[in-house]
Amino acid sequence: MATGLLTSEQAERIETTCRTAIGDSLRSITYFTRDDYEQVYLRDDLERDADLSTFIGHEWRGFKTAQTAYEGTELGDYNYTIRVFDNGFLIRVTTDREGVFVTTDGLTVKDFEEVATALNSFLGEREVR
């Protein structure tokens, strides 16, 4: 669902970032704001039947809840979320204005850290503008 939230260059950068860190385990990439989303990538062998608007609502609320709940704790600042499912994983990287969630097949924690760091960098650059 192209909504014009990202330029083609920004969408390509997100996809390249994720593909570099995740490789063939990458399933999908969705960029989102509180009000809208754009599916940047969906692997060819997957169906386009996910209810992304429901996912976005849940991931946005989940980010705000986690950020508030852990603010000021000894754990430090909230960085990202990994969700584990029977058929894959979801990693969510979010700022106060926007976020990206990526679904994958199996990965290591190091792989998740690498993609989260790269996506945080991308989102941080957009915040400055």
Domains delineated in the chain:
8-108+119-128 (3.30.450.30)
**Mean of the per-residue pLDDT values of the chain:** 83
pLDDT digits (tens, 9 = 90+) for 38-86: 999 999 988 877 777 777 777 777 777 777 888 888 988 888 888 888 8
Q: What is the pLDDT of residue 3?
A: 56
Structure tokens at 46: 């997957």
pLDDT category of residue 15 using cuts at 50, 70 and 90: very high
Question: DSSP letters along 2-58, please?
Answer: --SSS-HHHHHHHHHHHHHHHGGGEEEEEEEESS-EEEEEE-TTS-S---HHHHHHH
What the block records as the tokens of 106 is 């199996």
Give the SS3 label for residue 93: strand
